[in-house]
Amino acid sequence: MPANTLQSTVCRQCGKPFDIEAPEAVNVADNPGFKERVQDGSAFVHNCPHCGTVNLVRFRLLYHDPEQRLMIWLIPEDSLSAADREKLDQSMKSMWASLKEGLSDYVFRRVEDPGALIEKVRIFDNGLDDAAMEMCKYVTRMELVQTEKDQAKAAELADVQLRFRGLNGADNELEFVFPLAGAMHSVKAGFNVYEDCRAILGRNPELTPDGPFPQIDSSWVNQHFK
Ligand SMILES: [Zn+2]
């Protein structure tokens, strides 16, 4: 197991603070068990010692998968002050500058919550590109909105967060899940949608994510395609 450190969190139910043991950095080639716990989400599930409530704990983690040439920082930012954020940006910049020479074929990413990390791992394990996937999610969500006749529902759908769940069937259909009105829903899209998005990115190399641990998410899509 990777070396654990104590990271503090606050129970969502009783509001009391508690510490969890979690690694700050993990090489999943050396720790395949930890990769499984990221994939199924259990690495982030911790019981509050005060009231027993199950908490999804967001902690800082450097996820490194040398087989997938992938390095992802999970950094829950809502707990950071502006000064801390600035400091963190600087240290990520210098870390990236020292790493990129030796790891030139790596994908470097940054995410804010465990759900986003789990999704990235899934995307890269399927041999897919996360920027094209974000575009696919945008297109698929817009279709959901446009085909919904109920205006109130359509407005809710416009704000949902789609997550890539996997590829299905012989045609490699993309499956996405999203929460709406207290339940999880699923929507599928053809693999051609993904291929079209890949092609658009291929024709626009300036859109290829680069730099110190870029955050590729719905905000990134909105920045470039809205
Ligand atoms: Zn509690």
Contact (CB, 8 A) for 40 and 32? no
Q: What is the CA radius of gyration of the chain?
A: 19
Q: What is the mean pLDDT of residues 178-203?
A: 95
Q: How far is the CA of 34 from the centre of ligand 1 (A)?
A: 25
**Residue percentage of the chain with pLDDT more than 70:** 98
Distance 182 CA to ligand 1 centre (A): 22
In the structure, what pLDDT confidence band is assigned to residue 2 with cuts at 50, 70 and 90? low
CA distance 99 to 106: 9
- How many whole angstroms from 58 Cα to the centroid of ligand 1? 15
The average pLDDT across 162-171 equals: 95
pLDDT at res. 85: 86
Asked if residue 1 has pLDDT above 60, the reply is: no
Please give the pLDDT value at position 208: 87
Q: How far is the CA of 56 from the centre of ligand 1 (A)?
A: 12
Q: In what order do the strands lie in the sheet with 61-65?
A: 25-27, 61-65, 70-74, 107-111
State the Cα angle at 57 between 97 and 68, rounded to 5°: 40
pLDDT tens per residue across span 46-97:
999 999 999 999 888 999 999 999 999 999 877 678 888 888 889 889 989 9
pLDDT at 174: 97
Among 12-16, 161-165, 173-177, 205-209, the least confident range: 205-209
Over residues 143-171, the mean pLDDT reads 94
- The answer to whether residues 41 and 11 touch, using CB atoms and an 8 Å cutoff, is no
Cα 8 to middle of ligand 1, angstroms: 13
Residues with Cβ–ion distance below 5 A, ligand 1: 11, 13-14, 48, 50-51, 53
C-alpha torsion sign, points 160, 166, 168, 172? positive
The residue to which tokens 């080639």 are assigned: 29
Amino acid of residue 26: V
